[in-house]
Amino acid sequence: MTASVKHFMKEHFNNLILRPPLFYSWKYGIRFEISMPGTEHEDNSNLQQIKDRSTGIFNQVFQDTDEVLFITDISCEKYNTFLRKRPINVYRKYVKNKDLLKKLQHSVLPHIFEEEDDGDYDELDTHRFILPCTKSDIRYLQLLVAISYEDFPHPTQILRRNMAAGYDIYFVNVTRKMIYHLYDDRGCDVIAANKEDLRPLYKECNEWILDYDREQIDLLF
């Protein structure tokens, strides 16, 4: 399955490495502002905006029957055995059909930033979990809310029992050749193999585009 992800990225994204920040790494992408800057995370209006925007973009990118790769990358020290002793429960919690979990693949990769000059990554591995599924297989609304709590104490925190590790969750639309990455409560990147596949998203969610990158994104369209 890891090989199939590599093949997908090679064929459609010119060997792009699946790692953040996707928007700054690929020529066709949109970066969205999700939360309200300068507002307390628990503010009701902020929580509602996070929910509306993260799910609104998700629903634009994925249709119910699209073929999806639900990918979770967890980075931790090489000696950290947490994931071997207690496999990640993000799939058990947010996948509706437990029989589907028989297709879950796990591999241990060199850390996704290991090739960079900084030696701090030498002692890290990336655990990659991949589940082929469809949008309708996932409790995505609840999952996106949980991702938005990455930096805040909350029962839904995905790695709250292993805070030494960091994670990124990607939703790869194999059918439409698009990738959705809600990197935390602040923002979300969507990239596509074909620029025109982003145009409906650009029009429908234009007000949510991060102002810092708006000029670059407007020039694309």
User: Which of 132, 126, 209 is closest to 172 using CA atoms?
Assistant: 132
Lowest-pLDDT range, 31-45, 84-98, 126-140, 158-172? 158-172
Q: Rounded mean pLDDT of 158-187?
A: 82
Lowest-pLDDT range, 77-86, 164-173, 209-218? 77-86
**What whole-number distance in Å separates Cα of residue 203 and Cα of residue 217?**
12
Helix 44-61 vs helix 140-148: angle between axes, to the nearest 10 degrees? 130
Asked if 123 and 74 touch (Cβ cutoff 8 Å), the reply is: no
pTM over 0.95: no
**What whole-number distance in Å separates Cα of residue 221 and Cα of residue 217?**
7
Asked if 74 and 159 touch (Cβ cutoff 8 Å), the reply is: yes
**What whole-number distance in Å separates Cα of residue 149 and Cα of residue 163?**
13
Instruction: Count the Cβ atoms, other than its own, within 10 Å of residue 78.
Output: 11
Asked if 178 and 191 touch (Cβ cutoff 8 Å), the reply is: yes
- Share of residues in the chain with pLDDT > 90 (%): 62
- The residue with greater pLDDT, 122 or 146, is 146
Q: Where are the alpha helices (DSSP H) in 14-162?
A: 44-61, 82-85, 90-94, 140-148
- The residue with greater pLDDT, 70 or 3, is 70
